[in-house]
Structure 1
Amino acid sequence: MKLIVCKDYDDMSKKASELVISNMVEKPQLKFGFATGSSPIGLYKNLIAAQKEGEISFKYAKSVNLDEYVGIGADNEQSYSYFMHKNLFDQVNIKKENINLPYAPENDEKYALEYRKVLDEFGQRDIQILGLGENGHIAFNEPAEKLNRRASIIKLTESTIEANARFFENEDEVPRYALSMGVEEVFNSRTLIVLASGKNKHEAVKRLLNDDTISTELPCSLLNLHPNVYLFVDEEAYKG
């Protein structure tokens, strides 16, 4: 694991985007795995700016996404589909047919099986962007005795619901289930770029870097098994 400690969120976003941009220049037909949440927004802004300046193009890029809430339509402002279009897709020249987003209008595993087929056809990604949950989750693979290998409908923990409540009118509106890639699928990328900023991520970062064990009770600890991980953290997440 390559650790890059950055001054603050903006510096973290800048350094992570430099890595992505260098890969896109080398390989314009890059295959991405994208994440949502506050962590990658700065990175996406930098990629949008880089395209406007002519450094990169998304014309030949393809993408899949980590997860999506169950029961929320793509036009809902809290959906991850809406997030991706607002924060990246609508501002770059990626082709609509090259965007693959999970969708589960109801709590039914058939939607997970459908997304598994999409991921199988898509194949290995070049870069997978990841955030880091306060409880150490990756995608929506929450701390548990066992973790899903493939895409599944997952019941969210109370801590994750509480953490995501800031995006909704109140906690009662936060969905209780999500469709998420499984760990095997998250790892099916040549490079993982993990972003963590803020004091609330310090405990997860500390355990990721210092724990001698790997456990499903700390899903991010599994990142130590991947051969090419870049962990970008700001000073607050690193030092607490």
Structure 2
Amino acid sequence: MDHHPRNASDRTFNVTILPNAEAASAAVADKILSRVRAKPAAVLGLATGQTPRRVYAKLIDAVANGEISFAHATTFNLDEYCGLTCSHADSFAAYMHRELFDKAGFDQHKINLIDGAAADEKAEADRYARLLVQHTVDLQLLGIGTNGHIGFNEPGSSSMSRVRVVELSEETQAANRPTLIELDQVPRHAITMGIADILDAREIVILATGQAKAESVYRSLREAPDDTCPASHLAGHGNVHWILDEAAANLL
């Protein structure tokens, strides 16, 4: 079912609330599949973490069933931990290859990832920023942190922010700790697309599931945009689709 909540400025949002995480993930996967069917050479902005895993599994199934080809698609990842090589099991590069790229027929030359092991992190952020400028993301997939972060844009991030090195909050480090495979601690720094980079996408799809995300979803949709809740800045974009399960939507 679709709902259209409004924030403090009475802005209408495109929000779909589905019974559970499985249904919400299927709806997101369908949006990505539709975009790539309409434009096989689409540029996709991709996220990592627990939330998109079900989405990527459904994309892999669609490839296996002969329903789609990603061979012509270009991808950009949102972020990467600093200090990890692309082959490190806890890097987002390795996550993407494990969870999607290696099983879904993506062209390795069209995959754009941040080098977390770059000796000069600022130079690497600048390199990635230059790459982004040469493309327009057709569909950007996002999750949302319990503190409202998108990508690794933590509370305090400006809507004008661009690719940069950031320090991760204690809350984000704690939230990501259960996902670690080899590391004992979450790296303290990362390189992330900025909020302005995210807002440059033609379409944004944000997936939120679970009770833990309910407060940040509420703040993003019902309160005026504010740097203390980075996802609230999505209100400034004209083509954002929020896809939620009932748990994440229960404060709306």
TM-score when normalising by structure 2: 0.90
1:5 aligns with 2:12: no
Question: CA–CA distance in 1 between the matches of 2:247 and 2:82?
Answer: 32
Superposed, 1:139-154 pairs within 5 Å as 139-144=151-156, 146=158, 149-154=161-166
8 Å CA contact 1:29, 1:61 repeated in 2:
yes
Give the 3-state SS of the residue equivalent to 1:37 in structure 2.
Answer: coil
The Cα offsets for residues 33-66 of structure 1, whole Å up to 9 and x where unpaired, read as: 0000011111111111111111110011111100
Question: CA–CA distance in 1 between the matches of 2:170 and 2:115?
Answer: 22
Map of 1:159 onto structure 2: 171
1:74 aligns with 2:90: no
The Cα offsets for residues 100-149 of structure 1, whole Å up to 9 and x where unpaired, read as: 0011325631111111111112x111100000010000100000164662
5+ residue gaps, structure 1, are: none
Residue 206 (structure 1) aligned to one of 218, 222, 234: 218
Residue 234 (structure 2) aligned to one of 199, 205, 223: 223
8 Å CA contact 1:107, 1:177 repeated in 2:
no
Shift of 1:220: 0.5
Task: Report how many residues are paired.
Answer: 238
Change in 2 beyond 3 A, CA 1:169/1:98: closer
Give the letter for the 1:75 counterpart: S
8 Å CA contact 1:190, 1:228 repeated in 2:
yes
Superposed, 1:189-204 pairs within 5 Å as 189-204=201-216
Moved more, 78-87 or 13-22: 13-22
Change in 2 beyond 3 A, CA 1:95/1:205: same
The Cα offsets for residues 76-101 of structure 1, whole Å up to 9 and x where unpaired, read as: 11100000000000001111100000
Give the 3-state SS of the residue equivalent to 1:119 in structure 2.
Answer: helix
Superposed, 1:1-240 pairs within 5 Å as 1-105=13-117, 106=119, 108-121=121-134, 123-144=135-156, 146=158, 149-168=161-180, 173-211=185-223, 213-239=224-250
Question: CA–CA distance in 2 between the matches of 1:12 and 1:185?
Answer: 25
Change in 2 beyond 3 A, CA 1:225/1:132: same
Change in 2 beyond 3 A, CA 1:171/1:206: farther
8 Å CA contact 2:90, 2:183 repeated in 1:
no
Shift of 1:17: 1.1
Question: CA–CA distance in 1 between the matches of 2:160 and 2:166?
Answer: 9
Moved more, 145-154 or 24-33: 145-154
8 Å CA contact 1:141, 1:148 repeated in 2:
no
Give the 3-state SS of the residue equivalent to 1:3 in structure 2.
Answer: strand
Question: CA–CA distance in 2 between the matches of 1:55 and 1:188?
Answer: 29
Change in 2 beyond 3 A, CA 1:147/1:161: farther
Shift of 1:206: 1.1
8 Å CA contact 1:149, 1:184 repeated in 2:
yes
Question: CA–CA distance in 1 between the matches of 2:161 and 2:221?
Answer: 23
Question: CA–CA distance in 2 between the matches of 1:170 and 1:87?
Answer: 17
Give the 3-state SS of the residue equivalent to 1:238 in structure 2.
Answer: coil
TM-score when normalising by structure 1: 0.94
Give the letter for the 2:168 counterpart: L
